[in-house]
Amino acid sequence: MSSKTANPVMHSAAWRISLWATLAFAFGTMLVFVMLHRFVASDIQRRSDAWLSGEVAVLGDVAARTPKDHLYSRVVREVAELASREVPDKLPSNGNENDSVFFLQAGDDGALKLWVGAGDGLPNLAAIRARKLISDAPYDLNVRGFNHPFRVASARLDDGSHIYLGLSERDELRVLRSLSYRFFCLWLLIVLFGSAIVFCVTRRMLGHVRRITEAASRIGQADLSSRVPASNRNDEVGHLAQTLNRMLDRIENSMHQLHTMTGAVTHDLRSPLTAIRGKLEIALSGDLKIEQSEPIVSAIDELDRLTEFLDTSLDVAEAKADALRLSLTEVNLDELIRVMIDLYEPCMSEKGLRMNLRSSGPVPVLADAALLHRVIANLLDNELNHLPASCTVSITLGAGENAATLIVEDDGPGFASEIGPHMFEQRVKGRGSKGHGLGLAFVDAVVRAHGGKVAASNRPEGGALLSISWPREAGVKIEAPHSLTVANR
């Protein structure tokens, strides 16, 4: 009957909240880093294009003013200066540094006039010729034999020739890849750190809710005077604890008033009934004739039935209102049933009824012993009062890991069809019943007050069947399993 506290981390609300928050946070930060990376790449490209356009303009001016026999040496110096330009985190080249820069002059007929760079320049000229779209703005050029594209700027000279200045994007791409790697590491670190913070904060916050839930469960099952743990936190969790405690104050007050009222009613009714019964017994002890004593004995029986009806009605009313006062102890259900069978055996035999018991051995349950005793008595009374002679009552007691099962069945006429849907309601009874219609209602109320379930039906082969599932307290185990025993009575 204790609350269930096992809560794997993967199935906890803190885990789900942290997971969704982490996904949202990861997506948001990834979007920010992607936009930042694109902004940096665009800025590097823009600066590189501006620098490249300025350099090709300078080289065009040099080519226009320098005699042809001195142009090559001028261009070589300019290209060497371009190849040695400073780039952030620049790696030393394993080969000729001029492979990162080329200068190409092509005549108006497309023939190669001047080349400065790695190789003979023919692949570069072929790549330029293959490009169909002519633009003054720098553009990317993929040259066969090179792993990285060139960024190429061009200018037209007065003699109709074109000069092309190409700069490898190897260093820029390496800088961008390094930046991407750093962004990814930073993103991963932020996501892991943020996820850990969200999980810890959420788990701590929901821990207060879990403790409140466990305390409320214990209070609802056992002690209305206890309260859920409250704190001085002026937040939703603190307000929840305060609200639950105020609600428990009102419930405890209502239960106290109900107990006071039922106690007063019981006392006010039982006292005169007891006094009347006492006077009748005194009258019965006198010298009376048989015809004079019979009405007095009948009156005493009616008073006893009325007293029992009063007690049972109040118990059922309290149980229906979840206000039944339980004094829980460990009860061996097998031992209790055997004792009750011994008590009822003479009456059963006198009426011609037989009883069978099948039990799996000791079945300890946590229950109110007095109420459990009355439950068994009600079941046997029901069989004794409604079964015709020569019928058999079979009782089967079993024990599972979480619940004990008690099945009472007979081969009698079964339950009347008209009471089937309302069998456990108060004052509902068959046409031939002489009771008050409280027996099964009391059984249902007491079993439900202990957290169990009751079911009743007619057997297909004839007779009634009533099944009770009684919860067992966690940790209470059958120490030595017993084989099935059969008691024929």
pLDDT digits (tens, 9 = 90+) for 29-87: 899 999 999 999 999 889 888 988 888 888 888 877 777 667 777 777 777 777 666 55
Q: What is the pLDDT of residue 435?
A: 61
What's the token pair of residue 331?
Answer: 């009860």
**Do residues 158 and 100 make contact, with C-beta atoms less than 8 angstroms apart?**
no
pLDDT at 2 over 50: no
Mean pLDDT of the region 1-19: 65
**Residue count of the chain:** 489
DSSP assignments along 420-444, one per residue: GGGTTSTT---TT--S-S-HHHHHH
Q: What is the pLDDT of residue 479?
A: 40
pLDDT at 189 over 90: yes
Q: What is the pLDDT of residue 482?
A: 38
Query: In whole angstroms, how large is the CA radius of gyration of the chain?
Result: 48
Mean pLDDT of the region 171-194: 90
CB neighbours of 54 closer than 8 A, spacing ≥ 6?
none
Q: What is the pLDDT of residue 336?
A: 92
Question: By percentage, how much of the chain surpasses pLDDT 90?
Answer: 11
The pTM of the full predicted model, rounded to 2 decimals, is 0.49
Mean pLDDT of the region 174-186: 90
* Cα(400)–Cα(471) distance, integer angstroms: 9
Q: What is the pLDDT of residue 328?
A: 83
- Of 238, 240, 237, nearest to 248 by C-alpha is 240
All structural domains of the chain: 13-177 (3.30.450.20), 236-320 (1.10.287), 327-471 (3.30.565.10)
pLDDT at 28 over 50: yes
* Cα(472)–Cα(404) distance, integer angstroms: 7
Q: At residue 200, what are phi and psi to the nearest 5 degrees?
A: -65, -45
* Cα(141)–Cα(166) distance, integer angstroms: 8
Q: What is the pLDDT of residue 9?
A: 65
**Do residues 481 and 458 make contact, with C-beta atoms less than 8 angstroms apart?**
no
386: left (phi over 0), alpha (psi -120 to 50) or beta: alpha
pLDDT at 317 over 60: yes
Q: What is the pLDDT of residue 430?
A: 62
Mean pLDDT of the region 242-271: 78
* Cα(424)–Cα(6) distance, integer angstroms: 35
pLDDT at 337 over 60: yes
Q: How far apart are the first and last CA of the chain?
A: 35
CB neighbours of 119 closer than 8 A, spacing ≥ 6?
145
Mean pLDDT of the region 438-445: 80
pLDDT at 427 over 50: yes
Neighbouring CB atoms inside 10 A of 438's CB total: 22
Indicate the average pLDDT of the chain. 79
What's the token pair of residue 19?
Answer: 């997971």
Q: What is the pLDDT of residue 185?
A: 93
pLDDT digits (tens, 9 = 90+) for 356-407: 999 888 888 888 888 888 889 888 988 888 888 889 999 999 988 788 999 9
**Do residues 351 and 389 make contact, with C-beta atoms less than 8 angstroms apart?**
yes
Residue with more model confidence, 32 or 159: 32
* Cα(458)–Cα(466) distance, integer angstroms: 9
- Of 97, 94, 103, nearest to 85 by C-alpha is 97
Burial of 11: CB neighbours in 10 Å, binned 0-12, 13-18, 19+:
exposed
pLDDT at 476 over 50: no
pLDDT at 120 over 90: no
pLDDT at 23 over 80: yes
355 forms beta bridges with 393
Burial of 204: CB neighbours in 10 Å, binned 0-12, 13-18, 19+:
exposed
CB neighbours of 371 closer than 8 A, spacing ≥ 6?
315, 324, 326, 446, 449
CB neighbours of 227 closer than 8 A, spacing ≥ 6?
215, 219, 245, 248
CB neighbours of 18 closer than 8 A, spacing ≥ 6?
195, 198, 199, 202, 203
